[in-house]
Amino acid sequence: MYQKTILGNGLRILTSTIPHTRSVSVGFFIGVGSRYESDEEGGASHFIEHMLFKGTAKRPTARDIAMAIEGVGGLFNGSTGQESSLYWAKVALPHLDVALDVLVDMLRHSKFDPEEVDRERQVIIEEINLTLDTPDSLVHQLINELIWPNHPLGRDIAGTRESISTLTREALLTYLNQHYRPDNTVISVAGDIEHETIVEKIATLLGTWHTGDTASFQPFEDNQSEPRLRIHYRETEQAHLCLSVPGIPRNHPDRFKLRLLNTILGEGMSSRLFTEIREKRSLAYSIYSYINAMHDTGAVGIYAGVDPRRVQNAIQAILAELDKLKQDSVSDDELSKAKEFVKGRLLLQMEDSFSVAAWFGRQEVLSPEVLTVDQVIEAIDGVTGDDIKQVARNLFGGNKLNLAVVGPFKKEEERFRELLKL
């Protein structure tokens, strides 16, 4: 389903040919994110992402860059994660050369104009303020701090107001040169294309890009031995809570079992949490579970927004659902439906050229092997109800629980702490 070429400088090029589609998508996947930052560099990866859209010698302003893509009806954007950064464009096939030229220009020739750096610094600080002012965003940040205390993974990807205020243009460029290297980059292209043609185009644009020393991240060691709690007082109409436990690394053998467990627990309107907490008990409007997986660690979490007067009932009901997964094997019927949900969503996703490019590019930059859709479907089909029960028992131990709550609670820490004493 894809072809791969590695240039002499280590740059990896992946292509996926999708006949009959009229769009082509290009993704530049960089193997660096917020966990690679020191405390002083906090937010550097995200800051750089912002700056690459602010102007190059060839396209001096942000508007010039935007018009180059949007002027041909294309879409483009960037994002920063904890372990990778992405820059992408999706255009009609005749405009592939424009998309490649713009992305390479941004990646290699951004000006980092000092005045733009200072302006964008204020924009990012406002972005951080927005997180702090938004309870459902804040509670996710608080739960990360509990799961990964005193570690870059527990810090906001955008950094802190203090770190962003002191990051200099020189520090950003040093960080950029250290991590934005060809051997740390994957370019994934999907559409009605030929592999050799794409390789030739990219080699012409980036064949002389020089590599550098390999950068590393701070590993994480889980030493949690008792539940952790964080209550943040805020006069809100809803209590926002996240209940989470340490998960598993991205390439753990149990990852497909956990994917199905998460689907059964809290993904979609047929999940157990949605059915029990919202439909039957009317305890929440929004409730879901999620998985976060990194190179060497991970998290499994549940978010809910509930009436502050009923927060205790909601937490108890959520914990009861976790206990059911530990005690009872999932029925064949429920497991079959979960498998079809996962496979169906995956197949629908692969109808889009950008999703195909991202599927292969993200795996290539983050994982030791790249799986095809068929390989993942085969792994999903092999999971049993007992497999899911065993994963639940491994993960949902009482001493590993973490609870973050944002809401109108003062001097009620002990009441919440009692709920975690299973």
**Residues 151/218, Cβ–Cβ less than 8 Å:** yes
From 49, 116, 145, 267, active-site residue: 49
Amino acid letter, residue 300: V
Q: Give the residue among 171, 167, 237, 165 at the shortest CA–CA distance from 406.
A: 237
Amino acid letter, residue 42: G
Strand order, beta sheet including 239-246: 228-233, 402-407, 239-246, 298-306, 284-293
- For strands 85-92 and 298-306, give the pairing: unpaired
- Residue 49 annotated to the active site: yes
CA separation for the pair 401, 245 (Å, rounded):
5
CA separation for the pair 252, 368 (Å, rounded):
11
CA separation for the pair 2, 232 (Å, rounded):
48
CB neighbour list of residue 179: distance below 8 Å, 6 or more residues apart:
30, 31, 32, 36, 45, 215
By annotation, the residues acting in catalysis are 49
